[in-house]
Structure 1
Amino acid sequence: MGRQGQATDVDALIAQVIAREGDYSDHPADRGGATRFGISEAVARVDGYGGPMRALPLARAEAIYRRLYWVAPGLDKVAALAPRLAEELFDTGVNMGTVVAATFLQRALNALNRGARDYPDLAADGRVGPATLAALRAFLDHRGAAGEVVLLKAVEALQGERYLTLAERRPANEAFLYGWLADRLS
């Protein structure tokens, strides 16, 4: 159960990502190359899938999302403390990488710790480990339920800034900017 009294339904999150990402895509401006259900060919290969991307089974994509984007980066542990935040970090991790998502969390926690008075600064190493979870717990204990909302806004602000930077640095990414902002920021 999360802090708000509800468990995070990771299956529903995965279904939402798959619905948003669609079936098969190989957009010429996407440096990630061919994807199916939002899983890139590189990620599928690392996971051991050797077939054509157009044939990647839905169940395999769902398992990859659960294992590599939810459990491995520790979002199941974040969800026990802050379910809405974990949901946002999951989506960010799918779109930008789990290390980026965890780094956003760590940067936001560092900026919100009132000069390290509430908890020590974290190394922004992109891993949700015991120190990050302890800082999150301390932040939520100090700030209460409203704290999760503010932390969520901070993470979304970092995400939005990164999208704009990606489009500014590589004009081909402008093809994706509107959708990134529309689909992912509330």
Structure 2
Amino acid sequence: MGQGDEARVDALIAQVIAREGNYSDHPADRGGATRFGITEAVARADGYAGPMRRLPLARAEAIYRQRYWAAPGLDRVAARAPRLAEELFDTGVNMGPNVASAFLQRALNALNRGARDYPDLAVDGRIGAATLAALDAFLRHRGAAGEVVLLKAIEALQGERYLALAEHRPANEAFLYGWLADRLS
């Protein structure tokens, strides 16, 4: 990753942290206590054993960089479609990297013109060689406008999931407005 790419990822992480805030323990949030948007479960999985109120900012940034950018392979997506990678990062932070990756795979499958442009993908939530090859083929066939269309498709899937979460668990209505408002920024 080049310095410009690192700066872009740093900026994405800073935006998420600014949006998520310092510490929260909302009674309706199934994620429980969070600091900088990092849930206690994620912090513990990363090896942090201290109180969530004291999770260091540098630790949160490292978790975002590793778990939500590097591990899902968003650097490889960014090399092809930077805005798409940014949206997948944001979606992964909110819904999990596998969900974000599955959204990409579903959108690519629905946009491959009946598998004429490239074969359908297994929707496994992992960005591997097949997903990247499909993305390359999609962008080759659809050009620069293709990235915008993929962004819209992923945002539509994300919005539908947020609405379903609120419909299936009324306590989530406390968060729905903020979830949707974040999509506008």
Q: Is the 8 A contact 1:91 1:184 kept in 2?
A: no
Q: Residue type of the partner of 2:45?
A: V
Q: Indicate the residue corresponding to 2:123 in structure 1.
A: 124
Q: Indicate the residue corresponding to 1:60 in structure 2.
A: 59
Separation of aligned partners in 2, 1:124 and 1:185: 27
Separation of aligned partners in 2, 1:141 and 1:54: 47
Deviation, structure 1 residue 160: 0.3
Q: Indicate the residue corresponding to 1:17 in structure 2.
A: 16
Separation of aligned partners in 1, 2:29 and 2:71: 25
1:63-95 per-residue CA deviation (whole Å, 9 max, x = no partner) reads 000000000001111000000000000000000
Separation of aligned partners in 1, 2:22 and 2:140: 41
Q: Indicate the residue corresponding to 1:176 in structure 2.
A: 175
1:114-139 per-residue CA deviation (whole Å, 9 max, x = no partner) reads 00000000000000000000000100
Q: Indicate the residue corresponding to 1:108 in structure 2.
A: 107
Separation of aligned partners in 1, 2:183 and 2:132: 24
Q: Indicate the residue corresponding to 1:28 in structure 2.
A: 27
Deviation, structure 1 residue 185: 4.2
Question: Structure 2: where are the runs of 5+ without partners?
Answer: none
Question: Structure 1: where are the runs of 5+ without partners?
Answer: none
Separation of aligned partners in 1, 2:104 and 2:29: 26
Q: What's the TM-score once normalised by structure 1's chain length?
A: 0.95
1:33-59 per-residue CA deviation (whole Å, 9 max, x = no partner) reads 000000000000000000000000000
Q: Residue type of the partner of 2:143?
A: G
Identity %: 86
Separation of aligned partners in 2, 1:185 and 1:43: 26
Question: How many equivalent residue pairs?
Answer: 182
- Give the secondary-structure state (helix, strand or coil) at the position aligned to 2:79: helix
